[in-house]
Each structure stands twice: as structure tokens, then as C-alpha cells.
Structure 1
Amino acid sequence: MPSFYVIPLAFILGFALGRAATCTVAATERWIIQGKTDWLFGLLVVASWAGLVLFMLVAYFGRAHIPLDIEISGQLFFGAALMGLGAMVNRGCFVGTVGYIGTGKFSYVLSFVGLGIALWLARSDVLDLFGPVEFLPRTSVDESIAKQITLICFSVIALASLWLIFVKRKMAYLALVAIGISAATIYGTRPEWAYAALLNSFIQGQGLSVGKTIELAVVALFAGAIFSSWLKDRFKPQLGSWKFALANLTGGFLMGIGASAVPGGNDVLLMWTIPGLTLYGVVAYLTMIAAIALTMLFGKHVMPAVSARFQSASGGENIS
């Protein structure tokens, strides 16, 4: 089956990421510091639409890549907390990093360099903090009341987002819907397209994908984010200070190490693992948010300045 379709879908995903606040760190900061949960709700909108798309791919097309669940263990909690800490150091999760690069903050490219270093060290056993991940047999939706209830919740949230778009005219939610649909379609049919998977394939010496489709999709993702910011006059190229660059490198490295215990990392959790109805995805994502929140609360006396920095860096529209 031709897979060229992932390239325009990746462009749409990148474009939409530049139109709404989808960074877990920024959303958590908005909740902890400002007491507003609208950006966290926006992340639920993304996961809900992605979940419905994955369900339809399985139910009506019979073909979709669905994530397997893994055992809930101390290793999972530690890895997720490490991803949260890395996201804080980086000043953005990997989803937010795409948006920040789209606004011209090119020091965030080093986040992916840090990720690549972490993947290389983990693969070469130089830094082996975690044991092998234990995958569990997957149950179908028909066999799980919890999954059926989750799908109903996804449907309610999706309907609420449509009401906000068409009745309340909050068009930023349209971008969130586009993120969920495009991401789930890509992950559900070509899960190896993600930049983390691409870096891993390079480290393993697997070379380029057939027709260079995966590589072009990653390029299209960032091109879409940059084009989106440029249209809104938000694209302001800058390299940033060496301190910011070091934070990006370190944050990406920590998130990469954490991802070795939590398959896929934080972007995949939101756009594929949680929508794919895995328990570990929910546990890991909530743990990551808790780690970010606790870190923010611990340093609350310095957070007003940090808050302003996140607000200016998010690259997305306020959806309140």
C-alpha cells in the first residue's frame, strides 16, 4: 500500500501544532501557576480524537497498529518522572519542542540531539538503567468494560470540542482536532514514522526508509510548524543563549533516557499510546504531569518569570 499520504498528514500535524498550545509543560504550568485547566483539557481533546480515529481504523478498516500494554512497575514510574524532569529542563516536552522550533527557536533542535545521544547510549549498554520492558497480552474493546467506558468518554470530549468550535467559535480547538486525527492516522498506519523511531533506525544502521517517505514526513512535520508560525507572524529565527542550548540538550537527553522505560516517549503517549487504550500510557502520562507539577511547586517563588517565558514560547493560541 502506498504510504506517501503520511507526508501531507505530517505537514497538517505540524501546521496544527503551531496553532494551539499542546506542550505538556506549558499546560501544567498554566494549571499550577494560573489555576487554569483549559490547555490540559486541550490535550484531552487531542487524545480523544486520536482514540476515536484508532478505533475506527480497527473497527471499520480492520487494519491499524495498536500499542501493546506493558506491566505497571517502579521502572515505569521512574522513567515517566524522568521524562517530566527532562521536559522541565528542556522547557517543553517533545510535542512542544516541535512548536517551539516552528517559531524559530532553533536551540530546541538540540533536544533531539540529546534524545539521539540517549538512544545511542541505551542501545550500546553504556547507560543501562532499566531492565527489559514486559509487554502484556492485549484485550479487545469487546472484552473490556474499562475500554468501552473510555471510548464513551472520548466521544463526549470530542462532541464538547465540536460545540466549542461551532457554537463558542473557539477555533483553536479545530487545530487540536486536526492534531488528534492526523497523528492517529499516521501512528495507526505507520508507527515507525516518528522522529524518535527515525533516530533509532539511524543508530541501528538501518538506513533510509523505502522511498524516503518517513524522512520526508519528519521534514514535513517541521515545515508545517514553521509555515504555520510564519503565517501568524510568529516565526522569529533565533539561536538563544548557550545556557538555553545546554538546557535543551540536557532535557532531551533526560527525556530520551526516560523513554527507554516508557516506550515511545511523551509525544507518542499523547497521540498513540493513550488513544490506543493502554493503562500504562495513562499512568505514565499522569506521572509525568505530576513530576512537572511538583517541580514547579517546589520552585514556585521563581515561577512568575518562568510563566512569562512559557507563555511567550508556546507558539500556540490561548484556547480559554
Structure 2
Amino acid sequence: FAKTSLWVMVAASLAGALSFAPGFRHWPLSAASVIGGVLFGLGAGVNGGCTFSTLSRLMDGNLALLATVLGWPLGLALGLQFWAHQAITPVAAPATAGLAAINPLFLVLLVWALWEGYRLLRRMRHGGSAGRVFGAHTYTLSAAAALLGLANGGLVLSSGPWSFTGTILCAMDAGTLANCADPLLPWLIFAAAVAGMAGSAWQRGSLVLRAPRLRAVLRHGGAGVVMGVGAALIPGGNEGLILFGIPSFSPHALPAYVGILTGILLALLAMRAAGRTLPTILCEGDICRARL
């Protein structure tokens, strides 16, 4: 996820250097955003995944995660009650949000992007044909981060910041918490992203429908509600922080993300203390697999 944010930062900074200012907005740091991060992390830990992985596993046929998705808007609605009594609103990020071309940090980032791009291209060349590379069942973490980050950078520059959580917020008329200039566009992007996940599941042959058990439905549904409350307080889920909060240096983004990691850690520690077996994650050669 750190590399994903860096790639978005690269795209936004290059665009800014060419006078194409991204439409970022900044939120002030507040206790609510940090508490929201912890709540989101607690829900994600119990759920077994954040926004990205929830939708991806749902497309793989894990129908219990549909309860998580249905719990999100309920939690968001509860969390929005907090903002109804607050005067905090986002402000437009400076035109140079991200990194200016003359900023030494931008030059360091550009060198990193060139080196990382070279590594990815070299690995792709050794992987064989383009069809074999892009049709691989498992992408390396670096390749997935570059693809996600650059694709999102294109979205930010063409239509503004977008996220799954932001789309739901727009549908709930929470216009101050998300970019809702065009009510239809976020849903079109949402549908395209879900279609991409479904296509990936089909390409990998991982689509296997699994009937949910009641206990799993209740657990995922409750976790989804908690994640929704946290996303409303941040505001935005982990994907919003990764895709445009952190890349634009929004003051609330990094503290909220640390809150998410803290919440996940607390959830895992609590589950281990309760005697529950935690999923095993195996990482080798820039590829990680989880046994859920």
C-alpha cells in the first residue's frame, strides 16, 4: 500500500509540474479521524480484510462477505450523525499539493519511480510474452501497487479523487465528505472496478461460490458496521487514505492510517487471546498469499 501511494504521488506530482493540478482536498487532523481509523481497523481485523480485500474475496465467491458490504452503509449512516453536529469541512489542497518539481523530495521520488519502473520492466521481460505476464494468476506486490497507483493517478487527474467509500457517501448525500460533483460517475467507476475484480477471479479460476454460515454472516455484518462508522469519522476508508489522502499530504491521512493499523493489531491480539486461529500469511519473492 505504501508503494501504491508513492505511485499516485508520482503521477500527481508530474501532472502538477505540467500545470495539471489534481483536485485533492485536505482534512484537518482531529481526534475523530484517529478514532475512526482505530474503529475501521478493529472492524477490518474481525472481518479479515479491508475494503479492497473484502470486495476481491466477494468476487471470488465468498458470499459471507456480502454481509460486510451491506453493513458499510449502515455504519456510515451512524457515523454521519457525528458530522451533522460538526463545523469541520475540507479545504481545497494547494495547487502544488503533492510535490513541486523543484522540491528535492520530488527528485528523490522520481529517481525511485525510474528505478522501480526499470525493475518491473526487467521482470516482465524475463516473464515472457505480454499475455503471459498480464495473465499471471498472481501479480507481485510491486507490480500490483504500480498498476493500482498509476491507474488511480489517471482517475484523479481525469475525474477527481475516487474511492468505494466515497461512492457510498455520495449516495447518502454526504457531499462534504466526498467528491460528488457528478452523481453518476462514481457509480460507473465503482462498477468498472468490481467488474475488473470479477474478471480477475475468472482469469485466476478462483471463483467458487461458498454458502455462508449464520455465524460468519453475523461476524462480517457486525464488522462491516464498525468499519462504516470508522470510515465516516476518518472520513473515508483505508482505500481513500491510500489513493489520495496520503499522496496529497492531507493532515489527517497518516495519523488515521496509523489508527487503522493499531485497530487491526488490537483485533488480532484479541482474537488470539480468545483462542481463535489467525490466518497464515506466506511471503516469498515479492508475493504474499494468505490462508484464510
TM-score after normalising by structure 2 = 0.76
Instruction: List aligned pairs for 1:1-320, cutoff 5 A.
Output: 43-70=1-28, 72-123=29-80, 125=81, 131-133=86-88, 135=90, 138-139=93-94, 141=96, 148=103, 151-152=106-107, 154-155=109-110, 157-159=112-114, 161-167=116-122, 172=140, 173-191=142-160, 193-204=162-173, 212-300=184-272, 305-308=277-280, 317-318=287-288
Shift of the 243–153 alpha-carbon distance from structure 1 to 2, 3 Å rule, reads: farther
Q: Per-residue deviation at 1:74?
A: 2.2
User: Aligned partners of 1:216, 1:252: CA distance in 2, in Å?
Assistant: 23
**Distance verdict in 2 for CA 1:89–1:295, change over 3 Å:** closer
SS at match of 1:279: coil
Classify 1:250/1:154 alpha carbon distance in 2 versus 1 (closer, same or farther; 3 Å): farther
Q: Cα deviations across residues 238-278 of structure 1 (Å, max 9, x unaligned)?
A: 23222222222222211111122212221100111111122
> Structure 1 length as normaliser, TM-score?
0.70
Identity of aligned residues (%): 18
Q: Secondary structure at the match of 2:151?
A: helix
Instruction: Provide the secondary structure at the position in 1 that maps to 2:278.
Output: helix
Q: Which runs of 5+ in 2 are unaligned?
A: 128-138
The 2-side partners of 1:217 and 1:154 are apart by 28
AA aligned opposite 1:133: I
Change over 3 Å in CA distance of 1:141–1:192 after alignment to 2: closer
Point out the structure with the larger strand share.
Answer: 2
Distance 1:114 1:45, change over 3 A: same
> What's 2:134 paired with?
none
Please list the CA deviations of residues 17-41 of structure 1 after superposition, one character each: whole Å capped at 9, or x if unmatched: xxxxxxxxxxxxxxxxxxxxxxxxx
Q: Is the 8 A contact 1:142 1:148 kept in 2?
A: no
Aligned to 1:27: none
Between structures 1 and 2, the one with greater helix share: 1
Asked whether the equivalents of residues 16 and 95 of structure 2 are also in contact (C-alpha less than 8 Å), the reply is: no
Deviates more, 1:60-69 or 1:84-93: 60-69
Q: Which amino acid aligns with 2:30?
A: S
Greater shift in the superposed pair: 102-111 or 159-168: 159-168
- AA aligned to 1:158 is A
User: Aligned pair count?
Assistant: 267
Q: 1:254 to 1:157 in 2, by over 3 A?
A: farther
1-side partners of 2:25 and 2:253: how far apart? 10
